[in-house]
């Protein structure tokens, strides 16, 4: 065998072996063919997934496929049948061209929800969120189409949900004092240009901690997730469903996989 070809084959084998090792223990949550294992919050019955469909060419979940730019569309949330507590979740997303009324001129916006609980027919169910959005990290939030939607920001959906975040003012800052509250922004993280795939990852340790990564960079961390029970007592929020948002911007989600971890 030619030395160059031998080296090339060895390199391919090594990279493949490393990739398999890195993904060891991960289980796919989307097979690229059906939406089995997921339900739309606004579903009208079996087989109705609202704005979510399968793009077989991309092997991806396609949001607002075939809808014209500027057309009026509904928002929605695609929720996993299963609940999870301790895990690493990875997925890729890619923005496509169209945006829809009433946000046809806003920065593109979506989100990855976790620890989803309560009424699963709500588009914004009780949950924690890793924001997915095309706004740069240095953009300030404003009204209407001046709004900020930056991948890696934290949203806490639910009036009785609280988390601790190391923050300096309104921004996440690693090593800063922990402050209990709800929403928080990060300056970290840069998306790839529209039309290219981005990878996000969340590492969740029950109610103790979550870490957000965008394209391999840690962009946010939070701790101590709590909710209130029926008696008004503050209790840990340690598990829930997953959710993928549809918020008036055409987007693809693919390679959704999870590795469950033992509780410490």
Q: What does 81-118 look like in DSSP terms, one character per residue?
A: SS-BSEEEEEEEEEEEEEE-BTSTTSPPEEEEEEEEES
CATH number at residue 55: 2.60.120.560
pLDDT, tens digit (0-9, with 9 covering 90-100), for 19-47: 444 578 999 999 999 999 999 999 999 99
Cα 245–chain centre separation: 8
Indicate whether 157 belongs to any domain.
yes
The answer, yes or no, to whether residue 11 has pLDDT greater than 90, is no
Q: Which helix (H) or strand (E) holds 19?
A: helix 3-22
Which of residues 18 and 51 earns the better pLDDT score?
A: 51
pLDDT at 264: 74
Question: Bigger pLDDT: 182 or 1?
Answer: 182
Number of domains in the chain: 1
Domain that holds residue 119: 26-260
For residue 19, being part of any structural domain is answered with no
d(CA 33, CA 151): 27
Residue 16 scores a pLDDT above 70: no
Q: Residue 52: its pLDDT value, please?
A: 98
1 pLDDT band, cuts 50/70/90, is low
Quick check: 62 and 252 in contact, CB under 8 A? Answer: yes
Q: Is residue 164 part of a domain?
A: yes
> How many Å from the N-terminal Cα to the C-terminal Cα in the chain?
50
Q: What is d(CA 203, CA 6) in angstroms, rounded to the nearest whole number?
A: 39
């Amino acid at each position: 065998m030619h030395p160059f070809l031998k080296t090339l084959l060895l390199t391919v084998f090594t990279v493949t072996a490393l990739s398999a090792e890195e993904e060891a223990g991960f289980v796919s949550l989307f097979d690229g063919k059906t939406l089995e294992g997921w339900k739309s919050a606004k579903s009208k019955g079996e087989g109705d997934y609202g704005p979510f469909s399968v793009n077989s060419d991309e092997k991806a979940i396609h949001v607002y496929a075939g809808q014209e730019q500027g057309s009026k569309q509904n928002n929605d949330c695609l929720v996993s049948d299963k609940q999870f507590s301790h895990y690493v979740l990875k997925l890729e997303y890619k923005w496509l061209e169209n945006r829809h009324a009433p946000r046809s001129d806003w920065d593109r916006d979506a989100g990855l929800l976790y620890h989803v609980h309560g009424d699963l027919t709500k588009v914004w169910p009780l949950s924690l969120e890793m924001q997915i959005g095309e706004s740069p990290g240095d953009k300030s939030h404003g009204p209407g189409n001046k709004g900020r939607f930056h991948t890696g920001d934290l949203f806490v959906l639910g009036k009785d949900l609280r988390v601790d975040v190391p923050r300096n003012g309104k921004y996440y800052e690693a090593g800063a004092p922990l402050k209990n509250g709800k929403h928080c922004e990060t300056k970290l993280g840069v998306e790839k240009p529209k039309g290219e795939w981005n990878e996000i990852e969340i590492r969740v340790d029950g109610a103790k901690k979550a870490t957000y990564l965008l394209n391999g960079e840690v962009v946010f961390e939070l701790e101590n997730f709590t909710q209130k029970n029926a008696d008004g007592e503050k209790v840990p929020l340690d598990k829930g469903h997953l959710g993928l948002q549809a918020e008036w911007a055409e987007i693809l989600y693919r390679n959704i996989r999870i590795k469950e971890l033992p509780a410490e």
